[in-house]
Amino acid sequence: MKGRRAGLLVLVALGWSLLGLGTRPLNDPDEGRYGEAAREMLVARQPWMPTLDGRPHLTKPPLTYWLSASGMALLGQNEWGARAGQALAFTIAIVAAAALGRRWGGSEAAGLGAGLALGTALLPYAAASVLSTDAVLAAADAAAVACAARALTEPSLRRTAVRWMWLALGAAFLAKGPPGLLPLAGVALAWPLRAGARRGERWIDAGSALAFAVVGLGWYAAVVAVDPSRLGTFVSTEVVDRFFTDRFERGGAAWLPLLTLVGGALPWTPWGLAALRRPPEGDGGRALQRLLVGWILAGLAVFTLSRSRMPFYTVPLVLGLAAPGGALAAQRFAAWNPHRRAAAVLTLTLLAAALVELRREPERFSSSVRHSAGVAQAAREELELLGAGPETPVLVLQARYPPGLAFYLRQPLVTTRMKKDDERFAPDLARADLPAWLAAQGGRAVAIGEAAAFGKLPAGIRLVRQRHPEASRSLVATIADR
């Protein structure tokens, strides 16, 4: 696919990826955490050290933060800007799927079918609607697999394709660490069956290793060089503890990764399974089959053994079903009668409409949607009534506040502990110190918390006004000393 058609595919994929992406607030806690960390990175002009509430935040590598911060630099510090990187990632994944599908089906129609399949598969679309690392990882792995497919089927471009594959794997490692390298399981299985195999050809060489090291490991090396103790965070906490201990409350059912993969690839799952049963015709066809099957099985094994309970972990693997499934469906579509074609087009149109509606108003489909936008707006209105300035602190009646609150409010936040179950998180203020703190603020301040927390305020502090933001369990109030 070249020239105008390739450009048109990119534009359509980008438009589809952006559609409705900024029409809802960032969900707490995950989207709020990524959005606020990226915003702090942008405001502080400190791209090498992600922070949250001004403190180093190294639970994930920085690629997702960089994309989100770049989006906010272009589109503003809002939902559109925060999620713009997700749209770019989804576009890359769709284009990579089209390239893989074209190689699988041997035609441009097959490539377009593969891109359409990935773009409308349930799990990738859902992940691309949410600010997190999963869509970024899926895009990098999709690019790596597309390059691997080219290396396996085109001997004349093999060396170049392998190096591009390792560059993409470096980006995957910079997005989420070791899980980004799972496509290598498929590459290792497929390499002996590559088309036009020659002695001495390798799927990694010095140039590839250097490309991966610079892109994938450069940031880690820079952070550890500044603070050697961070090596323990990267290796012990984020790899060993996350996969081999209960520190991160892992306890997913063994069947969950398989269920999310099979269900997440719908409505293309049956087509994908049918396509994977038979390798494509021509040189390298069996290698392509091994590439995808090996990658999928390795991913399922890792996520099952690690007891993962996060459904988005299998997002990258959906490409292995959707791309060959979409390619097969496109090939069959040409032989269908007009009525069956019309029914297929109508079904896809309804699916697309449902996906956009799900992205635009997810609270209509789930009761777990929580965000801080309404709470922040109510707090701003109270601050205006007080005549407060941008540096006036807001009191949060819990030891840890939702990160989305910082993203939307952009005022200093001071926390205190009102419940015993907050003991995991150290507050900024002890409850006994609240009267003195309030006096230092001129006797009045804006506070945020659940209604029960306001009932535990120390004697001598009263409520002046209160607001109940819609769709929130929090109360926003102006408090004053007596």
Note the pLDDT tens digit of each residue in 375-410: 999 999 999 999 999 899 999 998 888 899 999 999
Q: Averaging pLDDT over each range in 26-30, 75-79, 451-455, 470-474, which range is the top one?
A: 75-79
* 78 and 181 both lie in a single domain: yes
Asked whether residue 2 carries a pLDDT value surpassing 70, the answer given is: no
* 417 and 272 both lie in a single domain: no
Asked whether residue 423 carries a pLDDT value surpassing 90, the answer given is: no
* 152 and 177 both lie in a single domain: yes
| Residue ranges making up the domain that contains 428 | 373-481
pLDDT digits (tens, 9 = 90+) for 157-207: 999 999 999 999 999 999 999 999 999 999 999 999 999 999 889 999 999
pLDDT for res 231: 84
Q: Which of 334, 364, 394 is the last residue of a domain?
A: 364
* 322 and 344 both lie in a single domain: yes
Place of tokens 């690392």: 133
* 434 and 350 both lie in a single domain: no
pLDDT for res 375: 95
Asked whether residue 1 carries a pLDDT value surpassing 70, the answer given is: no
Count of domains for the chain: 2
pLDDT digits (tens, 9 = 90+) for 206-248: 999 999 999 999 999 999 999 898 887 777 666 665 666 665 5
pLDDT digits (tens, 9 = 90+) for 103-157: 999 999 999 999 999 999 999 999 999 999 999 999 999 999 999 999 999 999 9
